[in-house]
């Protein structure tokens, strides 16, 4: 059996990881992807670490039955909670995410870097280690409820939330904003309009896609034949599934 043709499993607590999926499809158009949105257990970001690990185990057990060749945790919160454990337990490559603090630190001058993320992401050891390396000038900005607004496809609610959020800061003293949750990437254009043009906005999606490609190449698992495809699954409702396909913005196989 040609393992190169096996699918890549991708999951998030909901629709957020689809922003990561887009980048992976651009980077690896010949690959087959299965995207699982754990909408029935969303949000992850306000749960305890052990609760998140329990949710993740259920998703991974399901995806492993699909004979995936690699697993992408398209969620910063789930990566911090479960990636290390999964790498010990699984025989396939596990690719996670982290807030794009490093690229933000590289464009920082003398101002601050606002790191927007879920409360759990900002309290995890993985993020604290990232702060020690690249956190000079970084300000943790927990965003409880914002992920749920994206899940509802509520643009008006998102705009109100972000306007109130940024009003708390002197934007003349801000050099960069980090989108530390994959859901927030869907609000990137809105955030761009609310910020001075000189403020950089970073997210981890492109870096995750490149890392997936490197890992697959190293393991001789890259599929170069195609055709690529995407299937969508959810633990939630048909409405959740419909929103995932809408946000994907490309033809799917599922």
Average pLDDT in the 50-63 region?
Answer: 97
**Are both 194 and 216 inside the same structural domain?**
no
Residue 249, sorted as left (phi over 0), alpha (psi -120 to 50) or beta, turns out to be: left
* pLDDT at site 105: 97
69 pLDDT more than 80: yes
Domain that holds residue 190: 101-202
Please name the residues in contact with 167: beta carbons below 8 A apart, sequence gap of 6 or more. Answer: none
Q: What is the pLDDT of residues 193-220, one digit of tens each?
A: 999 999 999 999 999 999 999 999 999 9
Structural domain tally of the chain? 2
**Are both 214 and 186 inside the same structural domain?**
no
Query: What percent of the chain is modeled with pLDDT above 90?
Result: 92
Say what the pTM is. 0.92
With respect to residue 84, please indicate whether it lies within any of the assigned structural domains. yes
**Are both 114 and 188 inside the same structural domain?**
yes
Q: What is the pLDDT of residues 20-38, one digit of tens each?
A: 999 999 999 999 999 999 9
With respect to residue 175, please indicate whether it lies within any of the assigned structural domains. yes
Q: What is the pLDDT of residues 9-23, one digit of tens each?
A: 999 999 999 999 999
With respect to residue 125, please indicate whether it lies within any of the assigned structural domains. yes
**Are both 42 and 105 inside the same structural domain?**
no
With respect to residue 184, please indicate whether it lies within any of the assigned structural domains. yes
The dihedral over CA atoms of 12, 150, 32, 223, expressed in degrees to the nearest 10, equals -80
In contact, 98 and 25? CB cutoff 8 Å = no
Q: What is the CATH number of the domain that holds 46?
A: 3.40.50.1860
226 pLDDT more than 90: no
Please name the residues in contact with 6: beta carbons below 8 A apart, sequence gap of 6 or more. Answer: 32, 67, 68, 69
- End of a domain among 164, 183, 202? 202
**Are both 7 and 90 inside the same structural domain?**
yes
Average pLDDT in the 44-63 region?
Answer: 95
101 pLDDT more than 50: yes
With respect to residue 253, please indicate whether it lies within any of the assigned structural domains. no
* pLDDT at site 254: 39
Average pLDDT in the 55-69 region?
Answer: 97
With respect to residue 254, please indicate whether it lies within any of the assigned structural domains. no
Average pLDDT in the 69-75 region?
Answer: 98
Position 169 confidence tier, pLDDT thresholds 50, 70, 90: very high
* pLDDT at site 2: 75
**Are both 93 and 209 inside the same structural domain?**
yes
* pLDDT at site 252: 38
**Are both 172 and 244 inside the same structural domain?**
no
* Bridge partners, residue 206, by sequence: none
With respect to residue 39, please indicate whether it lies within any of the assigned structural domains. yes
**Are both 192 and 232 inside the same structural domain?**
no
Q: Is 210 helix (H, G, I), strand (E, B) or coil?
A: helix
Which tokens in the block code for residue 159?
Answer: 């705009």
Position 238 confidence tier, pLDDT thresholds 50, 70, 90: very high
Which tokens in the block code for residue 151?
Answer: 């899940």
**Are both 155 and 183 inside the same structural domain?**
yes
Position 1 confidence tier, pLDDT thresholds 50, 70, 90: low
146 pLDDT more than 70: yes
With respect to residue 70, please indicate whether it lies within any of the assigned structural domains. yes
Which tokens in the block code for residue 132?
Answer: 């020690």
Position 224 confidence tier, pLDDT thresholds 50, 70, 90: confident
Which residues does the annotation mark as catalytic? 75, 181
**Are both 109 and 196 inside the same structural domain?**
yes
């Amino acid at each position: 059996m040609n393992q190169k043709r096996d699918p890549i499993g991708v999951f998030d607590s909901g629709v957020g990881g689809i922003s990561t999926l887009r980048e992976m499809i651009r980077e690896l158009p010949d690959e087959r992807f299965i995207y699982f949105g754990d909408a029935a257990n969303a949000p992850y970001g306000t749960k305890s670490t052990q609760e998140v690990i329990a949710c993740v185990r259920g998703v991974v057990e399901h995806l492993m039955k699909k004979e995936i060749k690699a697993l992408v945790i398209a969620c910063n919160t789930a990566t911090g909670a479960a990636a290390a454990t999964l790498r010990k337990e699984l025989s396939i490559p596990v690719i996670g995410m982290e807030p794009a603090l490093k690229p933000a630190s590289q464009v920082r001058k003398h101002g601050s870097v606002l790191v927007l993320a879920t409360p759990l992401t900002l309290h995890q050891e993985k993020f604290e280690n990232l702060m020690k390396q690249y956190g000079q000038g970084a300000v943790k900005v927990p965003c409880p409820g914002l992920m749920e607004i994206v899940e509802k496809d509520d643009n008006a609610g998102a705009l109100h939330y972000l306007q109130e959020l940024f009003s708390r800061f002197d934007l003349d003293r801000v050099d960069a904003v980090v989108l530390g949750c994959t859901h927030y990437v869907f609000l990137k254009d809105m955030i761009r309009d609310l910020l001075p043009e000189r403020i950089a906005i970073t997210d981890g999606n492109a870096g995750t896609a490149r890392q997936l490609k490197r890992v697959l190449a190293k393991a001789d698992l890259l599929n170069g034949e195609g055709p690529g495809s995407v299937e969508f699954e959810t633990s939630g409702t048909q409405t959740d599934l419909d929103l995932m396909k809408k946000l994907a913005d490309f033809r799917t196989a599922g």
